Amino acid sequence: MIEYEPLFPGAAMNFKAMASKLGFSLEDFIELVQLLITTSQSELLTVEKELAAGSSAGVSRAAHSIKGAAGNLGFMHMADLAREMETLANQGNTGNMDKIKKKAAALKADLDLIKKAGDKGY
């Protein structure tokens, strides 16, 4: 089992630097981050429902969506988790369900960290 490091180990989340890297103002970047949080939370709920229903296709779709959005904004750790969830789901192996759940939990933890950072106005 792969254990994940915290989202930004040893460093505070620097939204200003991330925004600057993408050429966005901090204001615009925070707006995008808030949108990412909202949509990803919704997608994680979908993952839970689809896992309960045993639908790997639904899990794959939701993970794919999170992967693209997080990756574009520079949250690569979160994007990697989503990519791994998508890969596991695409394997269509019922034995992967637990692994997906763990990764979803790690992803949720990432989201919480991002949310907290946003609340602090980073």
Partner 1 sequence: MDIKHAFTILIVDDNIVNLKFMEKTLEKEGYQVITTDNGADARTLAMEKRPDLILLDIQMPGGDGFEVIRFLKGTLVTSTIPVIFLTGMTDVNSKLKGFELGAVDYVTKPFHPLEVLARVAIHLKLSIATNSLIANQAMRLKEITEAQTSMLPLPKDFPQAKFGVYYNALHEAGGDFYDVLSISDKITGYFVADFSGHDIKSSYMTASIKALLAQNSNPVYSPLETMKMINDVLMEILSKNKYLTACYARLNRTTGNLCIVSAGHPPVVLVPVTGDPQLIQVDGDVLGMFKDAKFGVHRMRLNPGDRFFIYSDGLVESTRQKITWNTGAQTLLTKFKKIRHLPLSKTSSALVKSLFSGGAVPEDDIVVLCVEV
- Which residues make up the interface to partner 1 (CB under 8 A)? 22-24, 28, 31-32, 35-36, 39, 64-65, 67-69, 71-74, 76, 79
The count of other CB atoms within 10 Å of the CB of residue 116 is 11
Among residues 17 and 35, whose Cβ is nearest to partner 1? 35
> Cβ closer to partner 1: 35 or 45?
35
Which contacts (CB < 8 Å, 24+ apart) does range 78-84 have?
78/7, 78/40, 78/107, 78/110, 78/111, 78/114, 81/4, 81/106, 81/107, 81/110, 82/107
The least distance separating partner 1 from the CB of residue 122, rounded to whole angstroms, comes to 18
Write down the least CB distance from residue 4 to partner 1, Å. 19
Q: Closer to partner 1 by CB, 21 or 98: give it.
A: 21
Residue 14 beta carbon to partner 1: minimum distance, rounded to whole angstroms: 18
